[in-house]
Structure 1
Amino acid sequence: MHSFIPPQRFFPYLTWTDIQAMPNKENVVLIQPVGAIEQHGPHLPLIVDAAIGVAVLGKALEKLDESIPAYALPTLYYGKSNEHWHFPGTITLSAETLLATLTEVAESVYRSGFRKLVLMNSHGGQPQVMEIVARDLHIKYSDFLVFPLFTWRVPHITSELLTPKEKQLGIHAGDAETSIMLAILPEQVKMDAAVAEYPPEQPAGSLLSMEGKLSFAWATQDLSKSGVVGDPTVATKEKGDRILESVSGGWVQVIKDVYAFQQPQPE
């Protein structure tokens, strides 16, 4: 049931008496992985975002000093994936349902005495929901510290392994995601079906982009016929191993920082 998570770090394996007796509960770090079940081209399974998040978190928790209390909650596999729903197999929650689900999970752990919760999101279509949940929870419970974090935003070396074009445009089912899937779930990757496809580029000089500071709304079918936005054909397990090692190392530091974090107070 714990998948990639070390069993001693898997929250559901605790008993209620374990939790009742837990010391320093206000600084225990709980991590809620949030993924998606959505198309990732003809070569990758629907579970990519959730699988990568759990694999990264599991590796990070393996590396984490045993003295730091941190636990993974069960992965929320479904997310807000309606940009992909034109492709069969995609399962999506509405923003309202995802927001309500995360809020009610968070309030449950708050009632148990926990005060630090990381929303570890691995799907690019829903960071805004994480941010709304985190802000609203902190406004409602001023001593509740909620961190809406994106799996790929910790320091890591992935960009060093990608071509300039892939770094700019490879946002879905491309080299990085395919490489890490070759490292963690190789039997579920169909490299013989991998195709490269990039979206039409904006006119030279345009300030607008898919996911930059000045973005526009899009559905995947606007960008790609295959569901791929990037080049998975150059992916390798070796790159995936390096990416997993690097991103999980970044998450070790994040968990340490959350454990030590204290809410800023005006002087």
Structure 2
Amino acid sequence: MVRTNDVSWAAKPYAEIREIAQQDDSICIVPIASLEQHGYHLPTGTDTMLVEAVASRGAERVADDVPVLMTPTLWVGYSPHHVPFGGTVTGEFDTLHEQIEEVADSALDNGFDTLLLLNGHGGNGPLVSAATATVGQTHPEAEILGLTYFELGAYFADDVRESDLGGISHGGELETSMMLHLYPELVDEEKMEATQWETEYDQAASDLLDSGPLSVTLDVEEWSESGAMGDVSAVSAEKGKRFLDGFVDEMEALLRAVHE
């Protein structure tokens, strides 16, 4: 059984990192998340904890066959829309973009063939897309990929979710269930409260798994008193495990496809 330390960049001495990176078809995963409010019931590190769980478990699944390492998570995200609630640390878009580029540059200097920017925060979506393009331009010798992990739920989540469209959002059915599975001691079940995510435009996003073609500035304070958005009426640890297993299955499939 592969242990998390076996895929952790931070747990290895530099010579071993270089050795892994310089193997054929090597992959470096850089998780990117946030530190921000998630309503009354979830910790501010929710996005960071969840993307780390998906990244590490996906990498562990393939580590016997694929040279892969995962860096520590970049925990500052683009979260100005959560600042009014407190408990949120955010960065400027351009500053965060440059930070990702610099991390990518130095990681790729070790010899990795592929860099996967794995995002765990909705507000980082445009940021990761931009960085994927610019890093790819400066590193034509490598393959640069960008992915928001929860969008992989489009392949399986309908078999797990019970909420209507709008129920899987910020601190809603998906994130709360996953946290109940992974970190139940950090979820305050007596304070679970969220507002259903609604939109006035049919073309706009109405759910984390329904992005829509129309981008609309999101003012969380306007929509939700608690700061959480979605449906928490049918959350459970068992459902959280099913969500997590689905994401890890999809991550494994992606990493194997990249390697092959």
Tell me the TM-score normalized by structure 2.
0.90
* SS of equivalent residue, structure 1 residue 92: coil
Matches within 5 A, 1:1-267: 6-22=4-20, 24-25=22-23, 27-154=25-152, 156-163=155-162, 165=164, 167-202=165-200, 206-209=202-205, 211-260=211-260
List per-residue Cα deviations over 1:171-192 (Å, max 9, x = no partner). 1100111000001111000010
The CA distance in 2 between the partners of 1:54 and 1:227, in whole Å, is 23
CA RMSD after TM alignment: 1.9
Gaps of 5+ in 2: none
1-structure distance, mates of 2:53, 2:108: 26
User: Does the CA contact (< 8 Å) of 2:79 and 2:89 recur in 1?
Assistant: yes
Contact 1:60 1:248 in 2 (8 A): yes
- With 207-216 and 228-237 compared, the bigger mean Cα shift is at 207-216
Secondary structure of the residue aligned to 2:64 is coil
Distance 1:224 1:102 in 2: 31
Shift of 1:136: 1.0
Q: CA deviation at 1:207?
A: 3.6
Higher gyration radius (CA): 1
Q: How far is 1:60 from its partner? A: 1.7
Secondary structure at the counterpart of residue 225 of structure 1: coil
Q: Which shows bigger deviation, 130-139 or 156-165?
A: 156-165
Amino acid at match of 1:163: E
The amino acid across from 1:56 in the alignment is V
Report Cα offsets for 1:16-54 as digits up to 9, x if no partner.
Answer: 222344474452110001111111110000011111111
In 1, distance between residues paired with 2:8 and 2:31? 12
Report which stretch shifted further, 243-252 or 215-224. 215-224
Shift of 1:157: 2.8
Structure 2 partner of 1:264: none
Whole-angstrom CA distance in 1 between matches of 2:234 and 2:248: 22
Letter in 1 for 2:245: E
Conservation of the 8 A alpha-carbon contact between 2:101 and 2:135: yes
Q: Determine helix, strand or coil for the equivalent of 1:234.
A: coil
Structure 2 contact 27–115 (Cα < 8 Å) conserved: yes
8 Å contact from structure 1 (residues 120, 149) kept in 2: yes
Give the residue type in structure 2 aligned to 1:72: M
CA separation of 1:21 and 1:169: change in aligned 2, threshold 3 A: closer
Structure 1 runs not aligned, ≥5 long:
261-267
Equivalent pair of 1:127/1:148 in contact (CA under 8 Å):
no
3-state SS in 2 of match to 1:128 = helix
Q: CA deviation at 1:196?
A: 3.3
Residue type of the partner of 1:152? F
Contact 1:121/1:151 (<8 A) preserved: yes
* Partner Cα separation in structure 2 for residue 163 and residue 115 of structure 1: 40
Give how far 1:201 is off. Answer: 4.4
Contact preservation (8 Å) 2:128, 2:146 = yes
**Helix, strand or coil: the match of 2:78?**
coil
**Displacement, 1:130?**
0.9
Q: Kindly tell me: are residues 91 and 54 of structure 1, through their superposed partners in 2, closer, same or farther at Cα, counting changes over 3 Å?
A: same
**Secondary structure, in 3 states, of the residue corresponding to 1:154?**
helix
